Structures are given as structure tokens and as C-alpha cells.
Structure 1
């Protein structure tokens, strides 16, 4: 069971870089709900959107799957025959809990799509022919110089009628807009019970780990990787989700 997120509630003598370790896994559902506006809406609708692009005899990837929320949505919504869902993460703690969640989902529902859960670095993963690939708040944790390369590999693996579904926290290029939206995100966290100490310490933990881009940078990089179109379908404050077509 998930615990309340109190990881940064007490003063830390030294705030270390954020890592998806066992401590984070224990509180991750609560953390993501209270930190990412619109997260539940994104996850549920990624399954709905994936169902429109899934092609038979292809893989559907959830890259950087964490606890497998997107994979669960794909399993519920995609009805296409002969597809396989592949959930991948490089955190052993995340993968262990993800397997538990998938087993529980399989016990609750009949006729779910099969799923393969892999502990691996997605930068080194050999992608099978795919029709849907989800990067749900994953690219922002990959070093910037390697982002174009993985998008090019994803584009190469995708079926012509498939799609990349990518969600990210973004920055805004105009300073007053960035300040406004940033302040609103902090207000969202306060409204969800985070203290000023928690907000500040988590920001420090993430500043060297989660490196965010603007919407224009995302669009230009996706086009450079070979995608023909990039369509935003969701935004809440500084969190967006895009559909990129091959």
C-alpha cells in the first residue's frame, strides 16, 4: 500500500539528488497525485488515445513505467488483437512494485492484454515493431544530449499508423508567463498539503535530475527525429501531453 509522502517534511542537512528508490516507491502514488496536476486525467486518457492507434501484431511500450499506471490504462482500453504491452523501467524498486500491481490488476479483470515487465535502461533497449510508445514524464529525466537519439529510435520502431504519446513538465520561454505558471504550480502543491519546506527541498533534489524543456524545444526535436506532426492534447499549468505521429 502507498504511504503519505513525507520524504521532505523534515529539514535535511544535505538534500541529495532525487532517485526512484525504495523510499520514493513507498510514497509515489501520493507524491504524483499531489505534485502533478492532471496526472490521473493524463493516465486514463493515454489508454483511450492508445486504443485509436494500436495495430495488430505490434508492441505497445510504456517506457519509464514507474509503477505501471500507464500500462494498466493500456491494458484496460486497448482491445486490438495480438498486441503485447511492454513496461520498462531502470529502477529495481519500481519494477518490483509494478509487478505486484500488474498481478493485482490481472486478478481483478478478465481479458486484459498480456504484459511483459522489464528492468532495463530504455537508452539501451532494443525496441520491437510498435504501434504505441508512451513516454509519460520520462524524457525529462534523460540527459538532454541523449533525448534526440531515443526519439529517433522510437520513430524508427513505430508503425506508420502508430503514435508516440509523450507527457512532460515544461518551461515557458517568456519570463512573466514562466513566473505565473510556476507560481500556480506551487499554489497547487500548497493546496495539496505540501509545506514551504517540502516544496523547497524537493525542488533542490530535482534541480540536477529533472531538466525540463519548452514546448517549442519538444516540438522541434520531435520533428527533427522524423515525426510528421506534434499535437498537444492536454495542458494543466506547466504539465503537457503530446501526440507525435510518424
Structure 2
């Protein structure tokens, strides 16, 4: 496996023109540090994936991890479940992420059935799945593409399957949202990010990461057909939901 990740310092120097954020080789090199220091609750969400799968995943079922980055969800599942309990397919649009994820999963869990594909999750041909994980991925899609993707994922899930959706969110109330954003910036300061880094990354993510409200997520999931959904975790303006496909749902799927 390649050498360890580096500390995130991408936005630590003044930039004449801040480029749009992208998951390129520079981000891949520091991604574990970036996530640890800038996504509240990420470790707790990963820690629960295996426990949730142990309760809700049919033995031997297929798991999709969409926008898999370095395969952290796959590692979390493999760390909890036996080799025959699931088959994992990670999908990411970034060639650099895909290359590192393949390397990591092969080294860390060689006995599990783990595949990583490079592709656009909006156009992937999905096989039936018992669980689909969307960890901080939907927020990077254009808002007008989100309903259609969630609809396709509902169709791909087997009856009784679950969707795990983790996202940065915004509060509907402007005052509440401003408070959450301010405390999130405090969180980043406490993790060693400078004012310049916070400001420049916020500029780089503008119109790239567009968050929804929790109510918006619930409405989208209900509209796709999910029988129920719970927001099981929230830390500041980051949340995770689980959505259930009814066990008696029709098995017909979109082409």
C-alpha cells in the first residue's frame, strides 16, 4: 500500500484565485486528515455502519458505497462483518480516489469480496442491493439531479433494504443556520484550521457543495417510495439518515 496520508494544508497559503474544490490527487493525499478535522461525527457514523448492517442487511447481500472516496465504509463493514456476510461495490468519479481505494481495500481486507468502480453514480447500472451507502456524496450533485438518483436507488434496493444517507445540512431557520455554521467554524478552528483556510475552502466549495434541509431529505426519500426514514445522527450541521424500503415492496426495477 502507498505511504500514509498527509496533513491537510491545501488552503493554508494565499491563492490569487481559489479554484473550485475537486477530488484530485492533492485531496486524495490528505483526505483522511481532511475528513477527520472538518467533518464532525464522521468516525461515529463509520463506527455504526457495521452495527446497522448486522441488524438490517440480508446475509450475503450486495452493498453499494456511492462516492466511496478511499473506501472507508467498506473498511468499516469488513471490520465488523464476516467475509461471507456481504459483497461490496464502491463507486467514485475520481480516478485518484478509485486507485487508492482499490489499493487500500486489497491490503486491509483481502478475503472480503470488495470491488471499486470508477463511474458516475447518476448513470450507473445498479444490481439489486441490500444496502446502499451515500456518505457525504449527494450534496456534491446538482440539486436537480438528486431526486432522480434517490428514485433509482430505491428501485435498486431489495425489499427490506436500507439506504444510509449522510450529508452536510442547512437549517430552514436563518438564525439557527447561522449559529450552526459559526459553531462549525469553531470546530474547524479547534482542529487547527486557520481563518485563511476556513475562508478559502468555503469559497472553493461555493456552488459545489449545496446542502439540503433535513425536511428536504425526508421529502425526497418519501417521494422515492421509502416507507420510513429516521435521522439517527446529527452533529452541528452534519447528519445521517436511514431510509427503509418496505419488505413487501414490489421488486420491479427501472432499466
TM-score (norm 2): 0.92
Q: Do residues 4 (structure 1) and 7 (structure 2) align?
A: yes
Alignment partner, residue 19 of structure 1 = 22
Matched, 1:192 2:195: no
Q: Tell me what 2:103 maps to.
A: 100
Q: Secondary structure at the match of 1:171?
A: coil
Give the equivalent residue in structure 2 for 1:64.
Answer: 67
The aligned residue for residue 54 of structure 1 is 57
Contact 2:102 2:115 in 1 (8 A): no
Alpha-carbon shift at residue 81 of structure 1 (Å)? 4.1
* 1:76 match: 79
The SS at the match of 2:109 is helix
Q: State the shift of 1:20 in Å.
A: 0.2
Report the CA distance between 1:80 and its aligned residue.
8.0
| Mapped contact 2:188–2:198 kept (Cα < 8 A) | yes
**Any unmatched runs of 5+ in structure 1?**
none
User: Within the alignment, does 1:206 sit opposite 2:209 as a pair?
Assistant: no
Tell whether the 8 Å contact from 2:89 to 2:117 is kept in structure 1 after alignment. yes
Take 2:68 and 2:85, find their aligned partners in 1: how far apart are those partners? 21
Name the CA distance, whole Å, in 1 between partners of 2:177 and 2:109: 42
Q: Does 1:37 align with 2:40?
A: yes
Structure 1 pair 80/130, CA: closer, same or farther in 2 (3 Å)?
farther
- 8 Å CA contact retained: 2:62, 2:129: yes
What is the alpha-carbon distance in structure 2 between the residues aligned to residue 165 and residue 77 of structure 1? 17
Would you say the 8 A contact 1:171–1:213 is kept in 2? yes
Q: Does the 8 Å contact 1:64/1:88 carry over to 2?
A: yes
- SS of 1:213's equivalent in the other structure is coil
Q: Confirm or deny: 8 A CA contact 1:54 1:78 kept in the other structure.
A: no
2:253 maps to what in 1? none
Give how far 1:57 is off: 4.7
